[in-house]
Amino acid sequence: MAADVATPEGAEKIIAAEPDVDILINNTGIFSATPVFEISDAERRRFF
């Protein structure tokens, strides 16, 4: 389930879909469709 909890609509979407949430993961990020052993150190730092 993905929703923007910074908005009332997003929070309501989560509550409607999963009213008894035990764990909430707030995650955002970028990635590359590159095999893990082919990612350069500079690109890995950019991801983090």
Q: pLDDT for 5-38, tens place per residue?
A: 788 998 899 889 988 877 777 777 777 888 989 9
Report which of residues 40 and 24 the model is more confident about.
40
Q: Where are the domains of the chain?
A: 23-48
Which tokens in the block code for residue 36? 């893990």
Percent helix, strand, coil in the chain, to 5, is: 40, 0, 60
Question: In this predicted structure, what is the pLDDT of residue 4?
Answer: 83
Please state, in angstroms and rounded to a whole number, the distance separating the CA atoms of residues 46 and 4. 23
Please state, in angstroms and rounded to a whole number, the distance separating the CA atoms of residues 3 and 9. 8
Question: In this predicted structure, what is the pLDDT of residue 36?
Answer: 86
Which tokens in the block code for residue 6? 């910074």
Question: In this predicted structure, what is the pLDDT of residue 9?
Answer: 93
Please state, in angstroms and rounded to a whole number, the distance separating the CA atoms of residues 9 and 12. 5
